[in-house]
Amino acid sequence: MKNKYTVGSLYAGVGGICLGFEKAGFNLKWANEFDKKACVTYRNNFKHNLIEGDVMDLDVKTLEQVDILTAGFPCQPFSLAGHRKGFDDRRGNHFFKILDFIDEIRPKVVFLENVKNLKGHDKGNTLKVIKSEIKKRNYTFDSSILNTKDFGNTPHNRERLFMIAFDKDFLNNKSFKFKFPEKEQLTKSIKDLIITEKVSDKFYYGEEKYMYNKLKEAVVNKNHIYQFRRQYVRENKSGLCPTLTANMGTGGHNVPIITTDFGFRKLTPRECFRLQGFPDDYKLPPISNSSLYKQAGNSVSMPVIQRLAEEIFKVIQKVEAKEKKKEKV
């Protein structure tokens, strides 16, 4: 039986945030995603209602009430000065659309994810606006930049900003501050996530490739990941995967390279999903590899989400336990 705490997910992608919350014990109610190929992958892995289409066209009033609202939203520039003057077109800004959902649904918790650079964007003003607007609605606001290698036990150097807000009326605790999880030791290595058997020939760089000699010279360590940079090969000596990006979907040199017993090759989509912490029972549909690379690069690191969701779960349980205690008295 699923837990009674429910989640609605905006900008769901292929469900990295959804899966993390599900694994932490939450009950997924609905999700929204615009990208058609991402929706194919999402539907391969989740049974609940996925609303395909532009979030700007969503009628908030038609959505089922949820306890947690999540959004890995695109960052659009807006300044504090501009905010003071008011926006000519609020509809065009994704963050302000999220506020409409918060106002209508009034979730117990708002969970936001974005790139690390949002913190310093426009000299910090962008984050100030986000914090101000959420606190104005009587929510707490705590944020932190977490790296997958430190919080997801996955050898992937990926920093993301997480913003978590609780409804103060629900908490009934004026001094509340959300406790982000502690760093954990990284025990998994690149070789734990690499497919050891031979994969399809299309992933390998043979002698006919113009960069073959450069790869032969530089790509020597089976425990490291490499990147081809036009004129040279870059080795990640830390034993980590560099941040996977959405432009891996454009193919070519954007996909990290490894060496195995069978030659030099780029990472497969499955390996990229593993580096985002997705389990092997997460199904990859029969769509183009370029789409799957893009999806892996666009996704969140699922184990980091799971750890955050577990902390949120503890807070909700604690609050409800207190309420029950009061009722008994």
Q: Are residues 226 and 94 part of one domain? A: no
**How far are the Cα atoms of 46, 178, 311, 323 from residue 314, in angstroms, in the given order?**
24, 11, 5, 14
Q: Give me the mean pLDDT over the 39-62 stretch.
A: 96
Catalytic residue among 18, 39, 75, 241: 75
Candidate from 11-15, 73-77, 213-217, 259-263 with smallest mean pLDDT: 73-77
Torsion sign across C-alpha atoms 311, 316, 321, 326? positive
Q: Does 15 reside within a domain? A: yes
Distance separating alpha carbons of residues 257 and 234, to the nearest angstrom: 10
Q: Does 1 reside within a domain? A: no
What average pLDDT does the chain have? 91
The tokens describing 296, both together, are 């892996």
pLDDT of residue 85: 40
Instruction: Evaluate whether 78 touches 133 at the Cβ level (below 8 Å).
Output: no
| Span 121-152, pLDDT tens digits | 878 888 898 999 999 999 999 999 999 999 99
Query: Percent of the chain having pLDDT more than 90?
Result: 75
pLDDT of residue 242: 94
The answer, yes or no, to whether residue 78 has pLDDT greater than 60, is: no
- Residue 225: what are its φ and ψ, rounded to 5°? -115, 145
The answer, yes or no, to whether residue 156 has pLDDT greater than 80, is: yes
**Overall number of domains in the chain:** 2
Q: Are residues 312 and 180 part of one domain? A: yes
Q: Does 33 reside within a domain? A: yes
Distance separating alpha carbons of residues 146 and 149, to the nearest angstrom: 9
Q: Is 75 a catalytic residue?
A: yes
Query: Percent of the chain having pLDDT more than 70?
Result: 93
The answer, yes or no, to whether residue 177 has pLDDT greater than 70, is: yes
Range of the domain at 129: 6-184+300-328
